[in-house]
């Protein structure tokens, strides 16, 4: 239910900058430095959010890789006789993915 939490890109609220630009255009004001500064700040925030999200994904993948390597090591120690007596259907599926 909460799968998307911190996984979906945050929406940037650019309404204030847009409105300010429209008002300045209508008033024939060409100094947009305040809006540019605000937009760059929001851009930097968006980039930081994406980087944090990617770092979290990389950490998760690294943890999963470690776990899979541990499972592979444990499975490689199982004898053929033990394999034949394992009745867990997941065993055969897992073995395919980690070889």
Q: Alpha carbon of 33 to those of 13, 20, 27, 76: distances in Å? A: 18, 11, 16, 64
Task: Map out the domains of the chain as residue ranges.
Answer: 15-98
> From the centroid of its chain, how far is CA 16?
28
DSSP string, 42-78: HHHHHHHHHHHHHHHHHHHHHHHHHHHHHHHHHHHTS
Spatial distance between the Cα atoms of 75 and 73, rounded to a whole number of angstroms: 5
What pLDDT score does 79 carry? 72
According to the model, what pLDDT value does residue 93 have?
Answer: 53
Helix (H) or strand (E) holding 38, with range, is helix 33-76
pLDDT tens per residue, the chain (99 residues)? Answer: 565 666 666 788 999 999 999 999 999 999 999 999 999 999 999 999 889 888 988 999 999 999 999 888 887 777 776 766 665 555 555 555 554
Instruction: Name the residue among 47, 51, 46, 48 with its Cα closest to residue 10.
Output: 46
pLDDT at 12: 86
Conformational region of residue 89, where left means phi above 0, alpha means psi within -120 to 50, and beta covers everything else: alpha
């Amino acid at each position: 239910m909460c799968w998307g939490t911190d996984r979906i890109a945050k929406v940037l609220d650019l309404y204030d900058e847009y409105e300010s630009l429209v008002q300045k255009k209508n008033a024939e004001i060409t100094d947009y430095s305040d809006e540019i500064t605000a937009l760059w700040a929001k851009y930097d925030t968006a980039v930081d959010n994406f980087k944090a999200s990617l770092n979290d994904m990389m950490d998760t993948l690294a943890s999963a890789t470690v776990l899979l390597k541990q499972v592979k090591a444990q499975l490689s120690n199982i004898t053929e006789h033990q394999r034949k007596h394992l009745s867990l259907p997941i065993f055969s599926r897992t073995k395919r993915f980690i070889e």
